[in-house]
Amino acid sequence: MSELRRDPIIGRWNIIETETPAGADAFDVDPHAPSGGKCPFCYGNEPLTPPEIYVVRPPGTAPNSAGWKLRVVPNKFPALKIEGDLGRRGLGVFDMCNGVGAHEVIIETPDHQRQMADLSIEELAGVIKAFQVRSLDLRGDRRLKYTLIFKNFGLTAGASLEHSHSQLIALPIVPKRVQEELRGSQRYFEFKDRCPYCDLVSQEVQEDERLLAENRSFLACCPFMSNFPFEIWILPKEHRADFAQIGPDAVTDFARILKETLLRMRVSLSDPSYNFIIHTAPIEPREREEYHWHLELIPKLTKIAGFEWGTGFYINPTPPELAARLLREATLPA
Amino acid sequence: MSELRRDPIIGRWNIIETETPAGADAFDVDPHAPSGGKCPFCYGNEPLTPPEIYVVRPPGTAPNSAGWKLRVVPNKFPALKIEGDLGRRGLGVFDMCNGVGAHEVIIETPDHQRQMADLSIEELAGVIKAFQVRSLDLRGDRRLKYTLIFKNFGLTAGASLEHSHSQLIALPIVPKRVQEELRGSQRYFEFKDRCPYCDLVSQEVQEDERLLAENRSFLACCPFMSNFPFEIWILPKEHRADFAQIGPDAVTDFARILKETLLRMRVSLSDPSYNFIIHTAPIEPREREEYHWHLELIPKLTKIAGFEWGTGFYINPTPPELAARLLREATLPA
């Protein structure tokens, strides 16, 4: 089991791998290709993953055999494990607890060759539905406080397998980054009596300078204060703090705008590596007047260096107005 | 001039390059070598940099000509510029100001082949002295609130030139990361009436499990809650918030432990890319009972991915106890 250890000054909890620690030889200086051989996410290799915990498969096919459309399985090399007690304890100035949590992999398609952007709207809606179902299910475990859904695509974005997949990690602590968003939006709400994200949505629609896609329920924009070049946020137009309460129509609209956004990014930036993260409210309280779930998408174009580590600020060489225009003008495949 | 734009929720200020913006073609997917041709930091190429603002050179040699031992020059492609007004203003939900500040480069040696770890104690003390002199000088500008000193070494750590250099950026805003440290250490001080860093130093010395080097004035350790594998902190044993008030003896002791630490890291990890950052108090008030300057050194071994962006937590595969042992046991060149 890993350990969660807390920074006594800024309150960050890190996950330290104490069970199977990596020595000095574990790190390659050069990026390396994912290991060859059998892909554990392809048909016929289901025994290479832990047993499925959610699946879309035709009736009559056996669990953990070929024929499925989408599978969710526990991560074989989890950052956190579901068994055991939290065991919160102090160690002098430091604090720690056991690495309790869930770490699941959403295998988005059986087809090794297709990226998320290549999925049909229906398939992509199935992936979003899987995010929702797994989020709701994990709420039954009272030890867990937050569910993070994210995707790493490409080597430089940290993906270790190329077969299209996303990940879900449920944590026993509300993460630092989420607490910052909650505190910041609470402060804004106390001052203005409005959700800051709702205000941001209104302003981006009104200025119409940083939008790149829009439909009935969502918009995609390069936000005014973008941390990274070509950073994209997808926000629901209607105020809602909790992603997991998304309705069936919104699932389809979300799939549509996500596909369009991924395609625009792929065309504009020559198929970059990327990360996306669904920012949503903690498990309790899930209804919040001041918070607004959304997706943040970061194409991996720049490096984090001393300035960024030292300040928490980013130097972004591409104004979001320019990024949005280039993304909007990209010619999508027919 | 660039723009500083503020995140309305979490309060992060990013630097957006609006003067010479980078389009979609500006980003290579693959790492590329620094551009060939003349190195602007070598003897004879002084006209390729802006004029020197601090220099160590023998008497009788002309400014901005060969013969120097160490030069500080303004960055030719600065993130922030010293001219102009801050011009703080709002734009609907957003806030912004002009990119006012200083961005300087410390050229540590005229020798293109030598890394910082190869410098003599005397040369390294000269570099530290340059950090101090430039920090003190910039305090005269009342627009500036914080001075960040950092080094990027190697391509994957974001260095664009291989000739050994460090950087200084003075900012019109106290950075988010520094504010977090100040707030966190204030909270600790209110509760305990002690500086948290002093407590950390005591505990690391007492446990003696994560130390890798120590001398009269400093210790180097892999801290208990390390964000990254083989992360190293160098802390002064004596309480002091402001790096720029370091005394002459401490400069030499700092040079000694920094050199030993860089050598241990180079041997243990096969000459990795790295970033280091000097964490120090804001310009005013510079004396603080609860804050303690230190250096944080991060060898670039892992990638930042969706989990880290979404949580602000890090997954560290190498327990600091193991990292410190490997660094301590490294056989240094005679």
Residues of A in contact with B75 (CB under 8 A): none
- Picking from A3, A12, A181, the nearest residue to B313 by CB comes out as A12
The one-letter amino acid code at A194 reads R
Structure tokens at B164: 């050994």
Cα B310 to its chain centre, rounded Å, is 25
Mean pLDDT, chain A, as a whole number? 94
**A48 and A172 both lie in a single domain:** yes
What is the C-alpha to C-alpha distance for residues B262 and B333, in angstroms, rounded to an integer?
12
A164-175: per-residue pLDDT in tens? 999 999 999 999
pLDDT surpasses 80 at A29: no
Burial string for B95-128 (b: 16+ CB within 10 Å, else e) reads bbbbbbbbbbbbbbbbeeeebbbbbeeebbbbbb
Q: Return the minimum-mean-pLDDT range out of A21-25, B67-71, B258-262.
A: A21-25
- Picking from B9, B199, B319, the nearest residue to A93 by CB comes out as B199
SS3 B104: strand
**Enzyme catalytic residues of A:** 165
Residues of A in contact with B185 (CB under 8 A): 9
Mean pLDDT within B309-318: 94
According to the model, what pLDDT value does residue A36 have? Answer: 58
Interchain CB distance below 8 Å, B151 and A16: no
Looking at CA atoms only, how far is residue A210 from chain B in angstroms? 14
* Domain range enclosing A225: 184-271+292-298+307-329
According to the model, what pLDDT value does residue A182 have? Answer: 96
Structure tokens at A81: 């494990």
**B123 and B224 both lie in a single domain:** no
Interchain CB distance below 8 Å, B177 and A312: yes
According to the model, what pLDDT value does residue A28 have? Answer: 63
Q: Name the domain count of chain B.
A: 2
Considering only alpha carbons, which residue of chain A is nearest residue B225?
Answer: A5
Write the DSSP symbol of residue A187: H
Show which of B141, B176, B211 is a domain's final residue: B176
Residue A333: pLDDT band (50, 70, 90) is confident
Cα within 13 Å of Cα(A121), Cβ side: 10
Does B307 fall in a domain? Answer: yes
Considering only alpha carbons, which residue of chain B is nearest residue A150?
Answer: B306
A279-315: per-residue pLDDT in tens? 999 999 888 999 999 999 999 999 999 999 999 999 9
Does A279 fall in a domain? Answer: no
Show which of A110, A143, A176 is a domain's final residue: A176
Best probe of the A interface among B1, B2, B6, B7, by most A CBs < 10 A, is B7
Does A285 fall in a domain? Answer: no
What is the C-alpha to C-alpha distance for residues B159 and A79, in angstroms, rounded to an integer?
31
**A125 and A256 both lie in a single domain:** no
Considering only alpha carbons, which residue of chain B is nearest residue A80?
Answer: B315
According to the model, what pLDDT value does residue B295 have? Answer: 98
Interchain CB distance below 8 Å, B79 and A276: no
According to the model, what pLDDT value does residue A99 have? Answer: 94
Interchain CB distance below 8 Å, B150 and A310: yes
Mean pLDDT, chain B, as a whole number? 94
pTM listed for this prediction: 0.94
Interchain CB distance below 8 Å, A15 and B270: no
What is the C-alpha to C-alpha distance for residues A64 and A51, in angstroms, rounded to an integer?
6
A137-167: per-residue pLDDT in tens? 999 999 999 999 999 999 989 998 999 999 9
Does A287 fall in a domain? Answer: no
Residue B32: pLDDT band (50, 70, 90) is very low
The one-letter amino acid code at A46 reads E
B104-140: per-residue pLDDT in tens? 999 999 999 999 999 999 999 999 999 999 999 999 9
Mean pLDDT within A21-34: 66
The one-letter amino acid code at A240 reads R
Does B272 fall in a domain? Answer: yes
Mean pLDDT within B7-25: 90
**B75 and B221 both lie in a single domain:** no
Asked if A28 contacts A120 with a C-beta cutoff of 8 angstroms, the reply is: no
Mean pLDDT within A3-26: 90
pLDDT surpasses 90 at A133: yes
The one-letter amino acid code at A313 reads F
According to the model, what pLDDT value does residue B253 have? Answer: 98
**A145 and A220 both lie in a single domain:** no
Asked if A276 contacts A165 with a C-beta cutoff of 8 angstroms, the reply is: no
Looking at CA atoms only, how far is residue B206 from chain A in angstroms? 11
According to the model, what pLDDT value does residue B214 have? Answer: 96
What is the C-alpha to C-alpha distance for residues A334 and A117, in angstroms, rounded to an integer?
14
Asked if A20 contacts A3 with a C-beta cutoff of 8 angstroms, the reply is: no
Q: Return the minimum-mean-pLDDT range out of A179-193, A251-265, B22-36.
A: B22-36
Structure tokens at A198: 């709702």
Peptide bond into A285 cis (omega under 30): yes
According to the model, what pLDDT value does residue A30 have? Answer: 42
A91-108: per-residue pLDDT in tens? 999 999 999 999 999 999
B152-191: per-residue pLDDT in tens? 999 989 998 999 999 999 999 999 999 999 999 999 999 9
Does A39 fall in a domain? Answer: yes
Strand ranges for chain A from DSSP E: 3-6, 13-16, 54-56, 70-74, 89-91, 94-98, 102-107, 146-153, 165-171, 211-214, 218-221, 232-236, 274-279, 294-299, 315-316
**A196 and A323 both lie in a single domain:** yes
Q: What is the CATH number of the domain that holds B279?
A: 3.30.428.10
B165 is catalytic: yes
**A165 and A223 both lie in a single domain:** no
Show which of A155, A176, A197 is a domain's final residue: A176
What is the C-alpha to C-alpha distance for residues A169 and B305, in angstroms, rounded to an integer?
13
According to the model, what pLDDT value does residue B28 have? Answer: 63
What is the C-alpha to C-alpha distance for residues A174 and A12, in angstroms, rounded to an integer?
10
pLDDT surpasses 90 at A33: no
Does B29 fall in a domain? Answer: no
Interchain CB distance below 8 Å, A276 and B326: no
**B292 and B261 both lie in a single domain:** yes
Strand order from edge to edge, sheet including A165-171: A54-56, A70-74, A102-107, A165-171, A146-153, A274-279, A294-299, A232-236, A218-221, A211-214
**B122 and B190 both lie in a single domain:** no
- Picking from B18, B311, B320, the nearest residue to A175 by CB comes out as B311
What is the C-alpha to C-alpha distance for residues B116 and A120, in angstroms, rounded to an integer?
53
Asked if B4 contacts B15 with a C-beta cutoff of 8 angstroms, the reply is: yes
According to the model, what pLDDT value does residue A146 have? Answer: 97
**B144 and B8 both lie in a single domain:** yes
Looking at CA atoms only, how far is residue A187 from chain B in angstroms? 8
Structure tokens at B304: 């930042």
SS3 A302: coil
Considering only alpha carbons, which residue of chain A is nearest residue B4?
Answer: A225
Cα B211 to its chain centre, rounded Å, is 21
Does B27 fall in a domain? Answer: no
Peptide bond into A172 cis (omega under 30): no
pLDDT surpasses 80 at B318: yes
Structure tokens at A221: 């924009």
According to the model, what pLDDT value does residue B36 have? Answer: 58
**A167 and A98 both lie in a single domain:** yes
What is the C-alpha to C-alpha distance for residues A6 and A8, in angstroms, rounded to an integer?
6
What is the C-alpha to C-alpha distance for residues B220 and B327, in angstroms, rounded to an integer?
11
Catalytic, out of B163, B165, B279, B294: B165
Structure tokens at A315: 């130097």
Best probe of the B interface among A3, A4, A5, A16, by most B CBs < 10 A, is A16
**A153 and A196 both lie in a single domain:** no
pLDDT surpasses 50 at A32: no
Write the DSSP symbol of residue A81: B
Give the largest Cα separation in chain B, rounded: 62
Mean pLDDT within B327-333: 94
The one-letter amino acid code at A49 reads T
Q: Find which of A285-294, B31-40, B52-61 is predicted with most confidence, using mean pLDDT.
A: B52-61
Write the DSSP symbol of residue B69: S
